[in-house]
Amino acid sequence: MKIAILTGGFLPVLDGVTVGWFYRLQKLSEFGYEVLFLCPDYSDLEHLYPNWEDYVGNILPGIRVVGVASIPFIGVDFERNISQKSYPQILQELRQFQPDILHVEEPERLFIGSFKLFPGLDYSRQAKIPCVACFRTNFSEYLEDFFGFHPLVISGLQALLKKLLGIIYNRYDLTLVPSAITQQKLIKIGINNTRYADLNGFDFDRFDLSLRDLEFFQKNYNLPQADQQIKLVFVGRLTPDKGWNFTLSALPQILVNLGIETVALIIVGDGQMRAEIAQ
């Protein structure tokens, strides 16, 4: 089977979605599938990702990654999204590849960059192949994190966005949802083609209690006290969409409840809220 995948992010950007995609591509390669993976081009961020070329081309047997024209996403320097200029290239790649099925990751995110309301659908309808969408991020819940509007304005914008989500996702043959709770939310706003799929998890071979190093932080980061403390660990973007406003308001009470001397707060990441979090 030939599978085409259109997504708004991939390695060398490190987040749950991009790392998850790499593992899925490994499995698709092992199973013998042929995959065309279309994602943003990261060449403009070579100063941040000098190894970006390691993740384009034939990265695995049967797996070809193509970077298409991209622009910054949500004002974050190290995030990219496909741009309007990318669409002719996307269509050309799809026509040459002739997939049996097309998977579109977060079509609403791709719409923000490409201004195509239904990314990939025009090709799939012309080629008469299934086109599956995948819902990842509930952007409507992030509006109040990014915009300081009056609550009534936020509520109005959320209602409009939910309506738009219904219009977008109902046009696809299927909407995959990796969370049962999120699936119920999507059904309530009128998306009627959802299917829950357990797409998240971890590698049992690499993450096992028997592999735990009790002196890990001392050996690697010269933080011996952290090995003995309760560790609250965050790895990701330091941006409002990651719930940092809530975390910063709740953290003092958490530290009081647990005892500040017993807790090690470990944050790995960067973003627009770094200075505020560091304070």
Asked if residue 172 belongs to a domain, the reply is: yes
Residue 140: per-residue pLDDT: 65
| Residue with token string 């090995």 | 227
Give the mean model confidence (pLDDT) for residues 242-249: 83
CA 278, CA 275: separation in Å to the nearest integer?
5
Does 104 share its domain with 229?
Answer: no
Residues 227 and 137 in one domain: no
Calculate the CA 233 to chain-centre distance: 19
Q: In terms of domains, do 236 and 140 share one?
A: no
Same-domain status, 215 and 189:
no
Question: Cα 231 to chain center, whole Å?
Answer: 25
Query: Which amino acid is it at 152?
Result: L
Q: Is the peptide bond before 252 cis (omega within 30 degrees of 0)?
A: no
pTM of the model: 0.82
227 and 177, same structural domain? no
User: What are the two backbone dihedrals, phi and then psi, of residue 67, each rounded to the nearest 5 degrees?
Assistant: -85, 130
Looking up tokens 């950007």 gives: 13
Q: Domain total for the chain? A: 2
Q: Are 122 and 145 contained in the same domain?
A: yes
Same domain, 13 and 112: yes
Burial of 150 (0-12, 13-18, 19+ CB in 10 A): exposed
* Nearest in space to 67 (alpha carbons), one of 110, 37, 97, 99: 37
Q: Mean pLDDT across the stretch 212-230? A: 89
Assess whether 83 and 156 both reside in one domain: yes
Is 259 a domain residue?
yes
Same domain, 137 and 256: no
Model confidence band, residue 187 (pLDDT cutoffs 50, 70, 90): very high
What integer pLDDT is reported at residue 269 of this predicted model? 84
How many angstroms separate the CA atoms of 208 and 226, rounded? 20
Is pLDDT above 90 for 136? no
Q: In the prediction, which pLDDT does 199 show?
A: 77
Mean pLDDT of 204-233: 87
In a domain, 202, yes or no: no
Query: Which structural domain range is residue 25 located in?
Result: 2-196
- Looking at the fold, whether 142 and 225 belong to one and the same domain comes out as no
Q: Residues 47-71: what's their mean pLDDT?
A: 95
Q: Quick check: is 69 in a domain?
A: yes
Quick count: other Cβ atoms within 10 Å of Cβ 121?
Answer: 19
